[in-house]
Structure 1
Amino acid sequence: MAHFHDRALTRPTSFNFAVDVVDYWAAQSPPLQAMCWLSQDGRSQRALSYAHFQRQGHRIAVLLQRLGVEAGEKLLVILPRVPAWWELAVACLRSGVVLCPATTLLVGKDIEFRCQASQASVFVGDAASVQKFLKIRDNCPQVRTVIQVGGDASEGLVELGAALDTVPRDALFSGLKPDVRSPALIYFTSGTTGHPKMVQHNHISYPLAHTITGKHWLRLSPGKLYWNLSEQGWAKAAWSFFGAWNCGASLFVHDDRRPFSPTRLLDILHEHPITTLCAPPTAYRQLVLSESQDHFRKNPPHALSHCAGAGEPLNGEVIRLWKRMSGLQICDGYGQTETILICGNFEGAEVRPGSMGRPSPGVPLHVIDSNGDECPAGVEGDMGVLVKSEERDEAGFFGLFDGYLAPDGKLDKRIRSFVRPGHVAPKSWYLTGDRAIRDKDGYFWFVGRADDVINSSGYRIGPFEVESTLKQHPAVVESAVVASPDSSRGEVVKAFIVLTDEYAKKDVDGLVSELQNFCKENAAPYKYPRKIQFVDATFLPKTISGKIKRNELKRLEWKSGASKL
C-alpha cells in the first residue's frame, strides 16, 4: 500500500502521527536520524533516531496507562528543549492523551490558569516548573499526577526516568488508535478582551497538515537538518516538529536557556551541519548588524542552504542585507497558532522582499471585504480562508484548528458566513484577524492586525493580561496597553498608566522600574511593558460604555513613534 508521503495531501479517514510517521521512518534502513540534540553548554551532543522516539513513545504511553491516564485527558507540559518533550509528545499522540504545551517563562499564576482552564489531569515539568506548580497545586485539584523530568523529585511525584526503568524497553502500547477527529493538542494564545484562549487541534489539522509547511516552505526531506529557534511552549515549535518529521528530516535542538545571541547562533551554524534555519525577524535583524557580519565572515555556516522567517512581518531591508551577507534568500511565511503555514515564499517563485508570498499549495486563502467577497488586487481587506461555499466545502483544506475551547468544553470555530443574494448556500470563512493587500500577481502584503494583540519578537501578548497585572500594583488606577514601534523587536508593549494621587507625587523614573519589575514577577517576563507613559485619566479615549479605545492610542503611538525609528 502506498504511504501517504507519496501521494497528494488529502483528508484521510485514518491517521496517527506516531504510527504513520514516527513508526514509518523508524522502519527505514539505514536508520534515519530524527534529532541532533545539543546541551546547554554545547559540550554534549546526542544523535537520536526515529526508532528511539518510537520506542520511548511506546514506553511512556504504557507508563501513562499504568498511572491511570486515559485517552481524552489533558496533559500540561512545561519543559525546556530536552528530548523528553518529543518523547512525551509521541506518547500522547499514540495514546490519545491531549498534549497541552506551555512556555517555561510562565509564573505560578499563569500555570494555575492554564491547569484550571484546560482541566488537565497531568502536569509534566522539569524541576523548575514543577516547583512553580507545587506552589499553586492546592488550587488545581483536578491535577491527579505530577511527573518531573530530571532532578530529585519530592515525595508524591513521579520522576520520569525512574518510572520508565519499570517499563521494559520493548514494551508496546496496545490501546485503541485515536480517531482523526479527536483532540490531539491544545495551545494557549492571547486575546484582547480576556484571558489566553485555548486553541484545539485534532489529529490531522496540525500533525498531518504541516506536511505542507515542511515540504513546500521549509523544503525538508530525509538528510536535511533543520533548526528552529522557538521554545517548546509555542506553536511554532509544533510547526517544526510535525513539518520536519512528516518529511523524514532531522531536527537540530539546542537546549539554550540564555538570551538570544547572534554570535552564538553563527557559531552553531559554523560548527554543525545545519541545512535549514527558521528564525524570527528579531533574530535576523540582529544577524545583519555590522558586528554580526564581521563574525559571519570569520565563521561562515557549515552547510546552511535555506532560510525561513515567520512570527511577524519581516522588513525588506533585512532580507536584502542577509542575502548580500550570506547569499541566501530569507523566505518569509505566514500562519498562526490556529493554522499551518497558509502563505509563504516557495521554491521556484520570485521572492519580493517585504511580501508574505503567495497562498500555500491547496490553501484557499483570500483577501475579502466586509461582505465576504474577494477584494480586487491592490485593495486592503481581511485575510480569510474559505471553508465552505457552493463550489467547495471544508473537506478540502484541513489545516485549521477545531476552534477555541471554552472551559465548559464548547468549541468556537470562529467561522463567519456571508449570505449572497441569488445564491443557495452562504460562503463561510475563517478570518485570521489580520489585514493584507494582494497584488496583481497574487502576492500578499501584510497591513496590520484587526485586533489589539501585540506581537513582540514573535511573542503574542494580550493587552488585557498586562493591564490586569498592572492593576494589582497599588500605584495604578487604570492602564491601557498597546503596541509601540521598535527598531529591534518590531513592536513592544507600551503602557499608558493613570496613577493614584499618592504615587503621582513620587519619583517617576524609579516608579517606571518598579512597575516593570512588578510585571516581571507577576506575569511571564516577556509581557512586561518596555515603555511606560504616565497620563491623566482624561487622556485615555473611551467608548460611551467606558471601554478604552486601544486602537486610537495605537494609531497615535505609531504615528509619533514611527518617525523616531
Structure 2
Amino acid sequence: MSEDTMFDQRRHHSQETNHDRYKRIKAEIERQMGVPEHFNFAEDVIEKWAKQRPDKVASHLLTDGSTESFASYSKLYKEAVLLATGLTNPTQPKCALVILPKIFEWWAVNVAGSWCGMIISPATTLLTANDVAHRISECGVDCVICDFDTACRLNDVTQGIPLRVLVSKSDDQVLSDWTSYDDLIKRAKSIAVEPCLKTKRDDVAQIFFTSGTTGKPKMVPHTQGSYGIGHIAAANAGRVRDNETL
C-alpha cells in the first residue's frame, strides 16, 4: 500500500462521525466472526451448550461473600424457556426493566428475554425512584422484574406498569399486585412451551443506560448479534479455556 493511499484512508476515517465509525467496526467484526443474518443468543448459544454439554457449569455465583451456587447450562436453558413461556402467556411484554442482584434468576431472565424477543433493560439495585421513572419513560417499559427489597422500595413508582414480577427468597415475601416469579415458572409447566423467536442479528435484545455523569442517562442498545459478540470478546480477553467458567 502506497503512502498516498494510507493517507487517504486516514483522512477518510478522520472525517467519520462516531456513529459511522461504530457501524464500520461493527460490520468488520461481524464479517470476521461470520455472524449469520438470523441469530438468537438463547437458542444459538445457551440451547446449543445445554444439548452438547448439559452438565457444564454456566453460572458460578458467590453471594454474601461466602455462599457459592452453581447452575448448569441444562438448568439455565430449561428455566429460561419456562420463564419465557410464562411471560408470553397471555401477552408478552415488549420491554422489561430488570432490577436484580447477581443471582441465578438474573441470568434466567436475560436468556428468557432473548428466547421470546422481550427486550431487557438491566439495572442496578442502587437506582432511586427518579432513576427508575426516567428509564420507564425513555424505553417504554411494560414489565419490571425485581427482588423483594427493591420491589418494596420502588412499589409506588412502578404502579402503572402492567406486569410486575417479584423474585422472592421465601414464601413469606409477597407483595400485592406483583406476580411471583415462581408462579410464572409453575404455570408454564402446564402449557405448551413457547418456541424460540426467529430473531435477526440486528434486532434489539437489550437496552443499557449510560451513567448520566454529564446529563440524563442515555439509552445504548445491544442487538442479538452484538450481545453474543460481546461475550466472545470478554472470553477472549480473559483467555477463558473450554473447561473454565467466565
Whether 1:145 and 2:168 are equivalent positions in the alignment is: no
Cα displacement string for residues 118-150 of structure 1 (whole angstroms, at most 9, x for unaligned residues): 110001000111122212235xx3x21100100
Q: Is this contact kept in 1: 2:82–2:188, CA < 8 A?
A: yes
Cα displacement string for residues 292-347 of structure 1 (whole angstroms, at most 9, x for unaligned residues): xxxxxxxxxxxxxxxxxxxxxxxxxxxxxxxxxxxxxxxxxxxxxxxxxxxxxxxx
- Alpha-carbon distance in 1 for matches of 2:128, 2:199: 33
> Relative to structure 1, is the Cα distance of residues 85 and 200 closer, same or farther in structure 2, using a 3 angstrom cutoff?
same
After TM superposition, give the deviation of residue 162 of structure 1 in Å: 2.7
**Structure number with bigger Rg:** 1
> Relative to structure 1, is the Cα distance of residues 192 and 29 closer, same or farther in structure 2, using a 3 angstrom cutoff?
closer
Letter in 1 for 2:56: L
Unaligned runs of 5+ in 1: 1-6, 225-249, 252-565
Superposition map of 1:20-419 within 5 A: 20-29=44-53, 31-40=55-64, 42=66, 44-70=67-93, 73-138=94-159, 141=160, 143-150=161-168, 151=170, 152-168=173-189, 172-191=193-212, 193-215=214-236, 217-224=237-244, 250-251=245-246
> Relative to structure 1, is the Cα distance of residues 162 and 192 closer, same or farther in structure 2, using a 3 angstrom cutoff?
closer
Cα displacement string for residues 373-411 of structure 1 (whole angstroms, at most 9, x for unaligned residues): xxxxxxxxxxxxxxxxxxxxxxxxxxxxxxxxxxxxxxx
After TM superposition, give the deviation of residue 13 of structure 1 in Å: 1.0
Structure whose residues are more often helix by fraction: 2
- Alpha-carbon distance in 2 for matches of 1:192, 1:29: 43
Q: Is this contact kept in 2: 1:13–1:180, CA < 8 A?
A: yes
- Alpha-carbon distance in 2 for matches of 1:210, 1:81: 17
Unaligned runs of 5+ in 2: 1-30
- Structure 1 length normalisation: TM-score? 0.36
Residue aligning to 2:43? 19
> Relative to structure 1, is the Cα distance of residues 200 and 219 closer, same or farther in structure 2, using a 3 angstrom cutoff?
same
After TM superposition, give the deviation of residue 96 of structure 1 in Å: 0.8
After TM superposition, give the deviation of residue 86 of structure 1 in Å: 0.0
Q: How well do the aligned residues superpose, as a CA RMSD in angstroms? A: 2.2
Letter in 2 for 1:36: H
> Relative to structure 1, is the Cα distance of residues 193 and 48 closer, same or farther in structure 2, using a 3 angstrom cutoff?
closer
- Alpha-carbon distance in 2 for matches of 1:39, 1:209: 25
Please state whether the residue corresponding to 1:105 is helix, strand or coil.
coil
> Relative to structure 1, is the Cα distance of residues 60 and 34 closer, same or farther in structure 2, using a 3 angstrom cutoff?
same
Please state whether the residue corresponding to 1:173 is helix, strand or coil.
coil
> Relative to structure 1, is the Cα distance of residues 132 and 40 closer, same or farther in structure 2, using a 3 angstrom cutoff?
same
Please state whether the residue corresponding to 1:75 is helix, strand or coil.
strand
- Alpha-carbon distance in 2 for matches of 1:220, 1:8: 20
- Alpha-carbon distance in 2 for matches of 1:155, 1:166: 19
- Alpha-carbon distance in 1 for matches of 2:102, 2:77: 19
Please state whether the residue corresponding to 1:63 is helix, strand or coil.
helix
Residue aligning to 2:15? none
Structure whose residues are more often strand by fraction: 1
Letter in 1 for 2:97: L
Please state whether the residue corresponding to 1:77 is helix, strand or coil.
strand
Q: Is this contact kept in 2: 1:112–1:133, CA < 8 A?
A: no
> Relative to structure 1, is the Cα distance of residues 119 and 16 closer, same or farther in structure 2, using a 3 angstrom cutoff?
same
> Relative to structure 1, is the Cα distance of residues 192 and 154 closer, same or farther in structure 2, using a 3 angstrom cutoff?
closer
RCO (CA 8 Å, sep 6+): is it higher in 1 or 2? 2
After TM superposition, give the deviation of residue 11 of structure 1 in Å: 3.3
After TM superposition, give the deviation of residue 219 of structure 1 in Å: 0.7
Q: Is this contact kept in 2: 1:58–1:171, CA < 8 A?
A: no
Cα displacement string for residues 271-311 of structure 1 (whole angstroms, at most 9, x for unaligned residues): xxxxxxxxxxxxxxxxxxxxxxxxxxxxxxxxxxxxxxxxx
Letter in 2 for 1:21: V
Cα displacement string for residues 525-550 of structure 1 (whole angstroms, at most 9, x for unaligned residues): xxxxxxxxxxxxxxxxxxxxxxxxxx
Between the two proteins, the alignment pairs up a number of residues equal to: 213
> Relative to structure 1, is the Cα distance of residues 21 and 145 closer, same or farther in structure 2, using a 3 angstrom cutoff?
same
- Alpha-carbon distance in 1 for matches of 2:240, 2:235: 6
- Alpha-carbon distance in 2 for matches of 1:55, 1:97: 17
After TM superposition, give the deviation of residue 8 of structure 1 in Å: 5.5
Runs of 4+ aligned structure 1 residues displaced above 4 Å come to none
After TM superposition, give the deviation of residue 82 of structure 1 in Å: 0.7
Aligned-pair identity in percent equals 28
Q: Is this contact kept in 2: 1:62–1:173, CA < 8 A?
A: yes
Letter in 1 for 2:50: A
- Alpha-carbon distance in 1 for matches of 2:53, 2:204: 33
- Alpha-carbon distance in 2 for matches of 1:41, 1:75: 29
- Structure 2 length normalisation: TM-score? 0.79
Cα displacement string for residues 50-100 of structure 1 (whole angstroms, at most 9, x for unaligned residues): 011110110000011115124xx1100100111000000000011110000
